[in-house]
Amino acid sequence: MARGKFITFEGIDGAGKTTHLAWFRERLEEKLSATGRAVVVTREPGGTPLGEALRELLLHQRMDLETEALLMFAARREHLAQVIEPALARGDWVLSDRFTDATFAYQGGGRGLPRDKLETLERWVQGGFEPDLTVLFDVAPETASERRGAVRAPDKFESETEGFFARTRAEYLRRAEEAPYRFAIIDATKSIERIRETLNDVIAAL
């Protein structure tokens, strides 16, 4: 069977990407049902036992910025080796809640880690591997902040300032402009119905 496709969902906290991920998975499974391919849903940081243990540290433990970036990529290497690459080789499609764009956006844009350090880690951990498609849910930081506050107690990233999320969003948009061939940008201020219409178009294009 031909290699599967790798799709990532991205956006600042409160953009709504996770809300739409389960729905997207169901539609994708319907489209693939006759092909014998499965849809594997995963997340970053996380996706493996080691990755999930690192996730708890990354979301709740204060640490040096470079330590944070190194742990993100350590979890990603394990994720690629244990989950993503084997699934794609089987012909399955992989849908991940965040991937490398999030590290550039959060540790790079938001926290200010120099981009060349992240690019070095990206080359080491991934080689030339990247998603076939990245769906970016774009929303203003103030809107995202209102949404986050209504849902749950925040982790250390969700507790950051609007300035942090403005920088994070800007880096996401810079990445999208740099690689338009793999990004689909969703206006996350639209209604759920309108967003799902757009996602249907995304699935049809795949």
Measured CA angle at 173 (ends 77, 43), to 5 deg = 30
Q: Is 8 annotated as a binding residue?
A: no
Which residue reads 């757009």 in tokens? 198
Q: How many residues does the chain have?
A: 206
Q: Are 126 and 80 in contact (CB under 8 A)?
A: yes
Spatial separation of the C-alpha atoms in residues 91 and 1, rounded to whole Å: 6
- Ramachandran region of residue 11, left (φ > 0), alpha (ψ -120 to 50) or beta? left
Q: Is 16 annotated as a binding residue?
A: yes
Tell which residue, 95, 91, 15, has the closest CA to residue 47. 95
Q: Is 156 annotated as a binding residue?
A: no
Tell which residue, 165, 161, 157, 60, has the closest CA to residue 110. 165
Q: Is 13 annotated as a binding residue?
A: yes
Q: Is 81 annotated as a binding residue?
A: no
Q: Are 169 and 12 in contact (CB under 8 A)?
A: yes
- The encoded tokens of residue 127 equal 């080689």
Q: Is 12 annotated as a binding residue?
A: yes
Q: Is 14 annotated as a binding residue?
A: yes
Binding residues: 11-18
Binding residues for ATP: 11-18
